[in-house]
Amino acid sequence: MSTYGIFVLVVLITCELCSNAVVRCAPSPTSANVRSLARSKSSANNQTTLDPTEALEIPQVSELDAEIVLRGLGYNEVDEVDGLSISQRMSDSSEKSLTDLIRIFQREHGLDESGVLDDDTKLVIGSPHCGSKRSSKTANDVSKWTKKSLTYRIHNFPRGKSPGPIRKLLAQAFSEWSKVTNLDFQEVDTEDSDIEIGFGGQVHHQRGDKCMFDDSKTLAHAYYPEVGDIHFNSQYFFEGDTSLTDFLDTALHEIGHSLGLEHSSSKASLMHPTESNGFTEPQPMDVQKIQALYGVRRGGRATETSGPKLCTLSKIDAAIDDDNGNVYFLAGNYFYNANKTRSKGELISSKWPGLPGNIDAAFRYLDGRSYFFKGDKYWRFKGSRLEPGHPRSIRKAFPGLPSNCDAMIVDGDGDIYAFRGNQYWVYETKTKKISSLSPSSIRLLGLPNNLDAALDTETTIGAFKGTSYYEAQVNGKFRTTHSSLLVC
């Protein structure tokens, strides 16, 4: 148990027993007992390189599996991805070797370009992904609908699942695209709909004809205009670790294809082909591309690439620092560098491609990696690169930590504190278990309920609620103090 965990135990015993005159009270803890809470991270950084998470399971991906996935995703085609012809990236050969395909894939995903099917590459290739692009579209043809009002029909629903939430999410996904371009969508129950949506297994049907996903890891696939049909692989939705947000992200992605958008190599785009990143609306680069096809909707959702000034915010979502001493606040879709004077918001995806907005909590671990938490998942970055295998389930990586946390911090021993509501949990990284005292009352630390964010830097640990700031003291409790970080 960390020294801070020992302190909490002492506090609990003291609180529960000191009111009983017969029982001798435990002595108050000395400052040395709790100094790990505010001890410099840099002093601990050289002492541990321990990964705080449970190990990732490396998927079984053979060379044949990899080739099927990569060719299915179009890595051997003469095609445009973000303006760059895939066939021109490596050589002039019309048929690429598996080594070349892997090297191209590694480059686009920020992996070491070895051409070898290593563990990191298997993690990305073995993750669920969008299926191959399906259309009669030619390389020189712009694929788009010739009308502005489109109908869609939900042919079926996953077996045993309630239609209501699924119908609502699909309507939301179509609405998000309608907000940013001149297209209107209406659900109908007729077979002559413009877009038919279906759920099924690897072998399924498209308007009566046989259809098939290229491989078992395919989340969904869609046809370009003016076919537009969308098929979801039922096994990946509404079961296990998948959530409604995962389905919304995938639905938004597939509708993008149905409207004429191709895959993007940028993880800051909703149209990146690999596993859901939890986007809930088209990202700026997606908006730019869809508006190039269909125009800008008058009075629709504005595409803001910068947020308001930091000091005008009434609250923040999360806070994190970096190795250079910069402090960043996250609020909505934007991040702010608190070290800059009159800092204005910049898009989160421009600094951490693949990270969605509205983050719950964040921290930088002792090894320098950045962790971001939202709902029941977390994202891990090394610098600005999202690491393979992420986003990942909190439950699998940090057994016992709750989802939907308000704030998180790391103490000088590398233990993780997660705050939610009126409680907090301590995750002991050496044992990869939750402390036996968790959850505990947040009032034991002198903090208010329902924190907005917390921040642990090289020298201090603090927490935020609204515009109030609480800093950890050597007596083991937080107290309200002045912070210039949120001031213009």
pLDDT digits (tens, 9 = 90+) for 410-446: 988 899 999 999 999 999 999 999 999 899 999 999 9
How confident is the prediction for the chain on average, in pLDDT?
83
Q: Which residue, of 233, 264, 294, is where some domain finishes?
A: 294
CA–CA separation, 486 and 315 (whole Å): 9
b or e along 18-45 (b: 16 or more beta carbons within 10 Å of the residue's beta carbon)?
eeeeeeeeeeebeeebbbbbbbebeebb
Please report the pLDDT score of residue 426 as a whole number: 94
pLDDT tens across 321-345, in order?
998 999 999 999 999 998 888 788 9
Choosing from 244, 270, 294, the residue where a domain stops is: 294
181 pLDDT above the threshold of 70: yes
Record the pTM: 0.84
One domain, residues 319 and 411: yes
Whether 209 maps to a domain, the answer reads yes
What local confidence, expressed as pLDDT, does residue 476 receive? 73
- Both 215 and 318 in a single domain? no
Question: Are residues 365 and 447 located together in one domain of the fold?
Answer: yes
Query: Does the residue 299 lie in any domain?
Result: no
Same domain, 385 and 408: yes
Residue 86 predicted with pLDDT over 60: no
User: When comparing pLDDT for 353 and 312, which is higher?
Assistant: 353
Considering only residues 113 and 274, tell me which one the structure prediction assigns the higher pLDDT: 113
If asked whether residues 240 and 276 sit together in one domain, one would say: yes
Least confident of 182-186, 208-212, 338-342, 358-362: 338-342
pLDDT over 50 (residue 319) = yes
Last-in-domain residue among 73, 92, 126: 126
- Do 270 and 392 lie in one domain? The reply is no
Q: Answer for the pair 398, 53: CB distance below 8 angstroms, yes or no.
A: yes
Rg (CA), the chain: 25
Q: How far from 429 is each of 13, 37, 397, CA to CA, in Å? A: 24, 15, 11
**pLDDT at site 238:** 78
**Residues annotated catalytic, as ranges:** 254
3-class DSSP string for the chain? CCHHHHHHHHHHHHHHHCCCCCCCCCCCCCHHHHHHHCCCHHHHHCCCCCCCCCCCCCCCCCHHHHHHHHHHCCCCCCCEECCEECHHHHCCCCCCCHHHHHHHHHHHCCCCCCCCCCHHHHHHHCCCEECCCECCCCCCCCCCCCCCEEEEEECCCCCCCCHHHHHHHHHHHHHHHHCCCCCEEEECCCCCCCEEEEEECCEEEECCEEEECCCCCEEEEEECCCCCCEEEEHHHCCCCCCCHHHHHHHHHHHHHHHHCCCCCCCCCCCCCCECCCCCCCCCHHHHHHHHHHHCCCCCCCCCCCEEEEHHHCCCCCEEEECCCCCEEEEECCEEEECCCCCCEEEEHHHHCCCCCCCCCEEEECCCCCEEEEECCEEEEEECCEECCCCCEEHHHHCCCCCCCCCEEEECCCCCEEEEECCEEEEEECCCCEECCCCCEEHHHHCCCCCCCEEEECCCCEEEEECCEEEEECCCCCEEEECCCCCCC
pLDDT of 177 above 70: yes
In a domain, 42, yes or no: no
Q: For residue 378, tell me if it sits in a domain.
A: yes
Predicted local confidence at residue 90, as pLDDT: 36
Domain that holds residue 224: 149-294
Q: Are residues 286 and 311 in the same domain?
A: no
**CA angle 144-109-98, nearest 5°?**
90
* Nearest C-alpha neighbor of 117 from the set 85, 82, 69, 162: 69
State the total domains in the chain. Answer: 3
- 453 lies in a domain? yes
**pLDDT-based confidence at 22, cuts 50/70/90?**
very low
Please check the confidence at residue 394 and state whether its pLDDT lies above 60. yes
**Tens-place pLDDT, residues 148-166:** 999 999 999 998 889 999 9
Give the pLDDT confidence score for residue 42 in this predicted structure.
Answer: 53
* pLDDT tens column, 128-150: 888 865 554 444 456 899 999 99
Q: Per the domain annotation, does 132 fall within a domain? A: no
Check whether 20 has a pLDDT greater than 50.
Answer: no
Least confident of 92-96, 111-115, 210-214, 330-334: 92-96
Q: Are 353 and 414 in the same domain? A: yes
In this structure, of 200-214, 230-244, 346-360, the range with the lowest mean pLDDT score is 230-244
Taking a C-beta distance cutoff of 8 angstroms, is the pair 426, 438 a contact?
Answer: yes
Are residues 158 and 254 located together in one domain of the fold? yes
The lowest-confidence range among 16-20, 272-276, 307-311, 463-467 is: 16-20
pLDDT attached to residue 13: 29
Q: Are residues 475 and 327 in the same domain?
A: yes
Q: What letter represents residue 78's amino acid?
A: V
- 319 vs 214: which has the higher pLDDT: 319
Average confidence (pLDDT) over 98-108: 90
- The pLDDT of residue 71 is 84
Q: Could you give the percent of the chain with pLDDT greater than 90?
A: 59
Range from 89-103, 254-268, 296-310 carrying the lowest mean pLDDT: 89-103
Q: Are strands 149-154 and 195-200 parallel, antiparallel or unpaired?
A: parallel
Q: Which residues contact 318 (CB under 8 A, 6 or more apart)?
A: 329, 330, 359, 360, 361, 362, 372, 373, 407, 453
Q: Which pLDDT score is estimated for 340? A: 85
| Spatial CA neighbour of 411 closest among 53, 47, 37, 40 | 37
Inside any domain, residue 392: yes
Both 289 and 377 in one domain: the answer is no
Whether residues 310 and 289 fall in one domain: no
Q: Look at residues 64, 101, 66, 67 and name the one whose alpha carbon lies nearest to residue 86.
A: 101
462 located within any domain? yes
Could you tell me the CATH number of the domain that includes residue 271?
3.40.390.10
* Residue 385 confidence (pLDDT): 92
Q: By C-alpha distance, which of 16, 31, 2 is closest to 444?
A: 16
Q: CB atoms < 10 A from the CB of 11, how many?
A: 21
What CATH number does the domain containing 454 carry? 2.110.10.10
Taking residues 380-392, report their average pLDDT: 93
34-38, 204-208, 268-272: the lowest-pLDDT one: 34-38
